[in-house]
A and B are shown apart, each in its own frame.
Chain A
Amino acid sequence: MSDKALAGVRVVEFGPYVALPLTGRILASLGAEVIKVETNKVLDEMAFIPAWSRGAGQPDYQRHKKRITLDVRTPQGRDIFMELIKVSDVFTTNFRRNILARWGIDFPEVRQVRPDIIIMWQTGLGGHGPYYTYKSYGILVQHMCGVSMMTGAPGAPPAAVNTSYSDYHTGVFQPAAIIGALLRRQRTGKPATLESSIFTSGAVTAGPALLDYQVNQRLPERRGNRDPHAAPHGVYPCKGEDRYCAIAVFNEEEWRAFCRVLGNQDWSEDSKFATLACRLHHQDRLDDLIGQWTSQRTAEAVMEQLQEAGVAASVVSQGQDLYDSEHLKSREFYRETKYYAAERGKSASEWEEGSSLSWSMPAHLSATPMEFGDYSNIGEDNPYVFGQLLGLPNDQLAGLVADGVVY
């Protein structure tokens, strides 16, 4: 019996950026064989991120995959691509349909050579509709999907998070849908074509506010860090530069524990703070008083003291906190990995190797663990895929390299 959940499932991944590669990595960590088709000539923009260490972020998205180089724009390349499709269960792509059609690898053609294949088409704004051809970036979709308008301080402009927001939601929705489609294929014999979008994946995270507007015609307020069900509830300045501790007190038991940790200050007995309703009403004053206490302490000390007393609190983690975290170390969350420093105009095989850091999967399965896996460079798995899997003779492969089909 295999200890890989998706052993025997083969996936062809064709496309760049965040959401699509993340899906491939998740499927690979579950035991699927994920073959990533790419080229040395048109590189994924993500290969140059982070700017200070080009390529050091790629293992997070690309590890554990079989990476091949193939120019699908050539007739020979197209034919080999189709040979690969024939032996695969899933095809994931985020290219537009008209581009795929131009290369002769659009969904009807793919389905013709492999009738039961599961197709996951990841789009930006949708697969059809009035502006499906428009371009989008995940970091901007946080604005489009209603989330930034409910984020930030009262009266201040909408606030943003400096990341590719719903690319991540899409990247994790997709493997669930793909596994579901594989289960359905087993059950019904039917294939499936699924379209995902960065926009819909973000829009669902607008949450119950979508119903509130329909029922009460109310738009969500920007509340900063405050919460109508808890006080104190916010981040408080601590010793050091840009250091904060978040504190959330939901009920009277927690409030009493909180006051004890602060040494039962004179003000904690003040009737202004006697109940949640009172504390909500006098939050500005309360926050000032708490801030005076926290600012004389380190964020770590505030967190530990409050958590020991049963009050929810946490350091606002910076990179150093995450890197040094004993908790994350004990769960082997971050691990060392090699990477290759991307350089335009040079074949990936000539890129310099370096040492980076990559996270391991946040779901821990007892019988079929999600594996961390190895990291291949672009084209590193050409011999396995073209030779072993597709059975191309060595001289034919050499010819394809000479013709620029495999590069």
Chain B
Amino acid sequence: MSRDPLADDHLIPPYRVLDLTDESGVFCTKLLADYGADVVRIEAPGGDPLRAKGPFPNDAPHPEKSLSFLFYNTNKRSITLNLETEEGQSLFRRLVKKADSVVESLPVGYLKGLGLDYDALHQINPQLVMASITPFGQTGVWSKYKSSDLIAMAASGYMQITGEPDEPPVRQGNSQSVYPGAQYASVAILAALYYRDLKGGEGQYIDVSLHEALITYYTDAHPALAWKQMGQNVTRVGTTSTLVIPLGAYPCRDGWISAGIITPREWDTLAQWIYEVTGNAEILNEEYRGGNQDRAPHNDIITALFMDFTSRFTSEELFHQGQERNLVFLPVNDVSDLLLDSQLEASHFWSELDHPEVGPLKYPLGIFFSEEISPGYAPAPRLGQDNRVIYRDELGLTEQDLVRLRANGDI
């Protein structure tokens, strides 16, 4: 199956979104931009701090070459604007007049201090949908607390269940905290625009708590419920589970393999396969049969037998031979494996975008596949590359105005 190469039909209309997010919210505006919105990233005159954050090609810092900036700003435009000067604020208000949405992740109360909070912007443009993505939300005793990826992972309890049981909690290495709040915000913004455009509603304000969003991303561990009902705190179980056996990542001949055996039928198939390979009849013990709870008392012996089995194969062999038996064996990949993965290729996961400073790279734009709909295919913008188009052509400023604003540090 392939997408019509001429399809330029995006998921959403080119809604004008003013992007005031930092790393904790930038994935939201990236999603909207990839879906087809006209997202204008508003950078302080010195440039978005993400531009100073690596990684960089050859580790040489350069504001146009931050791979973090490139990753999170595909399909956006960029203008520079100083929100802390009066002239800058006045330009921002003029931009808000024509905008569909403002998305921000500034400290709670910061925009109010500038007279640019929702109440003020709503006066200028009642149709505006404004979303704030903040660590703990706009209200409550923690709302003014400082945060970061590590702090978010701690406060939500996500890291309480990540890592080895006899080691301290560990955060996910991928900045996992940037995804849940941003994703919920993207849903809420689109719902609010749907309401505005199809139901004749006005604009509205959206308060997204990254803290709450992260807690929902491990719902099946049920920490608060376990406390309420049993007075127990859930904790780390390591790379393998102690309840579902086997389940997790296990060593194999050339690295790691992951596997999960849940139903009684899957267990019988696996036990027979292990017996055929190892000749050890212990695995066929009747006591080990049944659902996963039935194996919990025998975790140590079963895990040892299973690891004796997996260590005889490569990851690739276990993956395909397991799946041919209808068992869930999956490879343990690093990012280099993903870039070569034939399944991701077939899913149209990658798109090559040619950034003027960094050159062509594969970007993961294909979270969804549709024959009829395509994402945008523009690389991240250069700093202030759209100042002219937006300030001169849209707001009607003259070249002299731009020179003056630049000299005053407004843009």
Question: B146: nearest residue on chain A (CB-CB)?
Answer: A312
- Mask, A310-332, CB within 8 Å of B = 1, is 11111111111111001110110
B282 at interface, CB cutoff 8 A: no
Residues of B within 8 A of A137 (CB): 247, 260, 262, 328
Which residues of chain B in 157-215 are interfacial with respect to chain A, using CB atoms and an 8 Å cutoff?
157-164, 167-176, 178-181, 183-188, 190-195, 197-213, 215
Residues of A within 8 A of B195 (CB): 5-6, 367-368
State the main secondary structure of chain B at its contact with A: mixed
B218 at interface, CB cutoff 8 A: yes
Which of A169, A183, A368 is close to B179, meaning CB atoms less than 8 Å apart? Answer: A169
In the complex with contacts A194-B368, A316-B159, A244-B326 CB distance below 8 A: no
**A interface size (C-beta, 8 A):** 150
Which of B35, B205, B212, B372 is close to A193, meaning CB atoms less than 8 Å apart? Answer: B372
- Mask, A229-262, CB within 8 Å of B = 1, is 1100111010000101110101000000000000
A212 at interface, CB cutoff 8 A: yes
- Indicate if the CB atoms of B373 and A194 lie closer than 8 Å: yes
B281 at interface, CB cutoff 8 A: no
Residues of A within 8 A of B161 (CB): 161-163
User: How many Å lie between the Cα of A144 and that of B248 in the bound state?
Assistant: 11
Question: B230: nearest residue on chain A (CB-CB)?
Answer: A52
User: How many Å lie between the Cα of A234 and that of B31 in the bound state?
Assistant: 30
B90 at interface, CB cutoff 8 A: no
Residues of A within 8 A of B371 (CB): 193
In the complex with contacts A146-B337, A159-B164, A204-B154 CB distance below 8 A: no
Which of B81-89, B305-313, B339-347, B390-398 is near enough to bind chain A? Answer: B339-347
- Mask, B342-362, CB within 8 Å of A = 1, is 111111010000000010011
User: How many Å lie between the Cα of A220 and that of B148 in the bound state?
Assistant: 20
- Indicate if the CB atoms of A143 and B368 lie closer than 8 Å: no
- Indicate if the CB atoms of B241 and A162 lie closer than 8 Å: yes
Which of A49, A204, A321 is close to B367, meaning CB atoms less than 8 Å apart? Answer: A204
Which residues of chain A in 202-244 are interfacial with respect to chain B, using CB atoms and an 8 Å cutoff?
203-216, 218-220, 222-225, 227-230, 233-235, 237, 242, 244
- Indicate if the CB atoms of A179 and B190 lie closer than 8 Å: yes
Point out which of B10, B156, B228 has the most chain A C-beta atoms below 10 A from its C-beta.
B228
- Indicate if the CB atoms of A126 and B369 lie closer than 8 Å: yes
Which of A354-362, A375-383, A388-396 is near enough to bind chain B? Answer: A354-362
- Indicate if the CB atoms of B228 and A158 lie closer than 8 Å: no
Residues of A within 8 A of B239 (CB): 148, 157-160
Which of B66-74, B271-279, B402-410 is near enough to bind chain A? Answer: B66-74
- Mask, B97-138, CB within 8 Å of A = 1, is 000000000000000000000000000000000000000110
User: How many Å lie between the Cα of A49 and that of B244 in the bound state?
Assistant: 12
B385 at interface, CB cutoff 8 A: no
- Interface size on B, as a range, is 35 or more
How near does chain B come to A204, taking the closest CB pair, in angstroms? 5
User: How many Å lie between the Cα of A246 and that of B146 in the bound state?
Assistant: 12
Residues of B within 8 A of A200 (CB): 344, 347, 349, 364, 366-368
- Indicate if the CB atoms of A144 and B330 lie closer than 8 Å: yes
Which of A49, A128, A209, A219 is close to B346, meaning CB atoms less than 8 Å apart? Answer: A128
User: How many Å lie between the Cα of A230 and that of B204 in the bound state?
Assistant: 37
- Indicate if the CB atoms of B339 and A210 lie closer than 8 Å: yes
- Indicate if the CB atoms of B362 and A214 lie closer than 8 Å: yes
A41 at interface, CB cutoff 8 A: no
B57 at interface, CB cutoff 8 A: yes
In the complex with contacts A30-B191, A216-B59, A368-B191, A148-B332 CB distance below 8 A: yes
- Mask, B321-332, CB within 8 Å of A = 1, is 001001110111
Point out which of A176, A216, A223 has the most chain B C-beta atoms below 10 A from its C-beta.
A176
How near does chain B come to A356, taking the closest CB pair, in angstroms? 6
User: How many Å lie between the Cα of A212 and that of B65 in the bound state?
Assistant: 11
Residues of B within 8 A of A220 (CB): 173-174, 334-335
A180 at interface, CB cutoff 8 A: yes
In the complex with contacts A216-B58, A363-B206, A366-B204, A143-B11 CB distance below 8 A: no
Residues of A within 8 A of B342 (CB): 129-131
User: How many Å lie between the Cα of A175 and that of B190 in the bound state?
Assistant: 9
B232 at interface, CB cutoff 8 A: yes
Which of A148, A163, A186, A215 is close to B249, meaning CB atoms less than 8 Å apart? Answer: A148
- Indicate if the CB atoms of A144 and B258 lie closer than 8 Å: yes
How near does chain A come to B96, taking the closest CB pair, in angstroms? 17
Residues of B within 8 A of A87 (CB): none
The 14 listed contacts between A and B (C-beta, < 8 Å) are A49-B220, A143-B249, A146-B338, A151-B173, A160-B239, A164-B220, A186-B197, A194-B369, A200-B367, A205-B176, A209-B335, A323-B224, A333-B215, A359-B216
In addition to A206-B174, A210-B335, 8 A-B residue pairs with Cβ atoms within 8 Å of each other are A127-B347, A144-B331, A146-B174, A162-B236, A184-B10, A184-B11, A210-B363, A237-B168
A residues near B, CB below 8 A? 1-2, 5-8, 18, 26, 30, 45-46, 49-53, 56-57, 60-61, 125-132, 134-137, 139-141, 143-153, 156-164, 168-169, 172-173, 175-177, 179-184, 186-188, 190, 192-197, 199-201, 203-216, 218-220, 222-225, 227-230, 233-235, 237, 242, 244-246, 248, 250, 307, 310-323, 326-328, 330-331, 333-334, 356-357, 359, 361-368, 370
The 10 A-B pairs of least Cβ separation, nearest first, read A129-B346, A150-B173, A319-B223, A362-B212, A246-B154, A319-B227, A317-B157, A367-B204, A180-B11, A163-B218
